Amino acid sequence: MMLVGNMGFQISDELLGTFVPIILYWVYSGLYLGLGYFENYRLHSKQDEDVKNLVSKTTVVKGVILQQSIQAVVAILLFTVTADDSQAAINQRTSLMVLARQFVMAMLVLDTWQYFMHRYMHHNKFLYRHIHSQHHRLVVPYAFGALYNHPLEGLLLDTIGGALSFLLSGMSPRSSIFFFSFATIKTVDDHCGLWLPGNLFHAFFKNNTAYHDIHHQLYGSKYNFSQPFFVMWDRILGTYMPYTLEKRVEGGFEARPAKEYKDD
């Protein structure tokens, strides 16, 4: 258990692992919402965000809250079922090397699951039309729309994918607080629509805001399925579309396919 506050109020690692990523989602999105008014950082103009998207921001907020509610219920059930194993893991000293290995394993599991499920939802016309197309109503992505999905897609890609990464990596609920918080802010960053100077995600990950923005455009809908960390499966299976950044006349940048892809 973790001690919080002067009154000795205790919040379990399981509850923190469930709700800290949700809180961070809205805090981090709020930060990007403010930065979004600076046109020099945007991959699409503010006008395009308001005009091209096919769903209102109110609907997006409601959809995200629904998905997060489902995720919270599943997370609590998962932590309850694995409580004995998790407690044993907490009681053992965990080295930084073990934590690093668990994080890398969790990242690879989540990436693998989401790549193949995401790709299949694009290639299956029924699933795309009735489920995945909801996410692509955001032609111009923005931060708090990162988890705007059909509830079934949210369950299949994010919730089950997260559960698998937790179970197969062997991490404890305490470790999961940090992993899922990291995965959450990375996902928000990928959808924020901003190319910020000094962004460490852009420095360390090829799978970044511009890379995912390509996927949200019509010409890129059959490419760049990987999320949220690496581009490994896109490269291996031929669905990788590199991009170039070009300055827009009105300010900011535009992500465009690399030259060899422009005529596809």
User: What tens digit of pLDDT does each residue of 79-118 get?
Assistant: 999 876 655 555 555 688 999 999 999 999 999 999 999 9
pLDDT tens digits along 32-62: 999 998 999 999 999 999 999 999 999 999 9
Q: How confident is the model over 19-40, as a mean pLDDT? A: 95
Domain definitions of the chain by residue range: 13-84+94-257
Residue 3 in this model has a pLDDT that exceeds 80: no
pLDDT over threshold 90, residue 5:
no
Q: pTM for the full model?
A: 0.91
At 144-201, the pLDDT tens digits run: 999 999 999 999 999 999 999 999 999 999 999 999 999 999 999 999 999 999 999 9
**Measuring CA to CA, which residue among 226, 229, 262 is closest to residue 244?**
262
3-state class (DSSP) for residue 239 = coil
Angle CA 126–129–135, to nearest 5? 130
Length of the chain equals 264
Q: How far apart are CA 104 and CA 115, in angstroms?
A: 16
Mean pLDDT is lowest, of 19-33, 92-106, 208-222, for 92-106
2, pLDDT greater than 60? no
DSSP 13-44: HHHHHHHHHHHHHHHHHHHHHHHTT-GGGBSS
Task: Write out the two tokens for 184.
Answer: 């959450």
